[in-house]
Structure formats: structure tokens, C-alpha cells
Amino acid sequence: MREIVLDTETTGLDPLRGDRLVEIGCVEMLNRIPTGQSFHVYINPERDMPVEAFNVHGLSAEFLSDKPLFAAIADEFLAFIADSPLVIHNASFDVGFLNAELARLGRVALGFDRVVDTLALARRRHPGGPNRLDDLCGRYGIDLSRRTKHGALLDSELLAEVYAELAGGRQAALVLDTAEANAARLAGNAAVRQRPVPLPPRISPDEAAAHAAFVASLGEGALWKDYEAAEPEAVAAVG
């Protein structure tokens, strides 16, 4: 499956108050392995650069003054991401800025039903822990020595590594057997046994109903539907 890991840099925090995109970085992944294909562009925001934002990414108004406007790179950007799922850390921020830029051009907004938010994945896997990109890189032993400031392409490359860890991609890539062979090996392993008494549910009926309602609200094209479809097979495989 093709996925695009994406990150942006901006002039601030709120596109509704005049903040703009200044950098987009994307990394292509196939089956959660980077292919080496990427998209990277700096963008002229047509405004000044607040010092707070400059201190984060180091991109000055002078440096960006001769860079293309978003309108000039929109088609190339949209062609690169195509209809692939978008893997983004704290996705509401980046998608909000991208959609604000697309709206200025009268273009169709990016739907959240195609987004995998790694911040949400990290919070589920590491509840209560710090889950910024830096924190996750430290947790998984990913080298941060190149990262002196935020940069959209570098952060996308780092996030691709984090996503592989969160989703189990690195381990999956090392399994050379077929799914049938793995299932047979698990079935023959005496250590894998079905519990005589199932564990009680960890969520209440109200929580389960609220989750089902939320998933239904995402629409038929939501990525979550793929996980729902695969879940019964995964359960059956481990007994």
C-alpha cells in the first residue's frame, strides 16, 4: 500500500488569522517502507516572518521571498500525494493549513478520512507519555543528530521511521514466510493457548457505542474500515 508521510512549516499557528505555509515535505512509503521518492518545496508566504516561527524553523522572509507561491506548486503537490493515505503527526494542524491554501485557490479540500494521525497512534500506544516527534524518536532510538531546527522534509523522514515502529512495519518487513506459514507456526506453538475464561472487556458498552458512532461518521472511505475488516482474521490467527 502506498502512503505519504507529510509535514509542513508555517509562519504561525492559525491559518484563519493570516498564517501561511512556508514549506512542505513528503516521503513516499510502500508497505510502510520508504521508497526514496520525496516531494519538497519552500513557499513564499507573501507576508513577514514572526520571530517565534523563525526560531522554530529558521526560514526568514528574505530567504522565502524568491520562492514560488503555493498556487505555482499546488498541482505538483496534489499529483505527488494523489489519493494515497497521508501520515501526519498532529494532523489537524498540517491539514488545516493545506486546506486553507487550497481554499484560496478554489480547490477541493483534503479529507480527514484519508489521514493517519501518528500523534493519535502514539497516544494509544504510549498513554500518558510525551508523544512529540522528538520524544518518539528518542523512545525508538532514531537518530536526531541532523535535526538542529524543524524542517518539513527531514521531519517527514523521521516520522516515516517513527510510523514504521508505531505500526510494526519494521518487524513485518523482516518476516519472509507467507501468512499461511506464520499462522501454521503459531498454531503449532504450545505456548500459544486460548484462555479458558476470556478476559473481561476493558471498555464499557457506552464507550464501545461512542467509538462505533465516531467510526461511522468518518464515511465509507475511512482508513479505519481497513483495520476493522482485518481485525477478525488477526484475532483468529492467534486464537
| pTM reported for the whole predicted model | 0.71
Question: Cα 120 from chain centroid?
Answer: 9
Domain 2-172 = CATH 3.30.420.10:
yes
From 40, 89, 126, 150, active-site residue? 150
Cell of 179: 501468512
Please write the tens of the pLDDT for every residue from 15-56. 999 999 999 999 999 999 999 999 999 999 999 999 999 999
Kindly state the percentage of the chain with pLDDT values over 90: 66
Residue type, 149: K
pLDDT at 216: 80
In this structure, of 10-14, 144-148, 154-158, the range with the lowest mean pLDDT score is: 144-148
pLDDT at 227: 63
- Indicate the domain borders of the chain: 2-172, 176-238
Alpha-carbon span 39 to 56, nearest angstrom: 21
pLDDT at 218: 81
Please write the tens of the pLDDT for every residue from 75-128. 999 999 999 999 999 999 999 999 999 999 999 999 999 999 999 999 999 998
Could you confirm whether 150 is annotated as catalytic? yes
* Beta strands, E only, the chain: 2-10, 21-30, 33-42, 86-88, 115-117
Cell of 198: 476470556
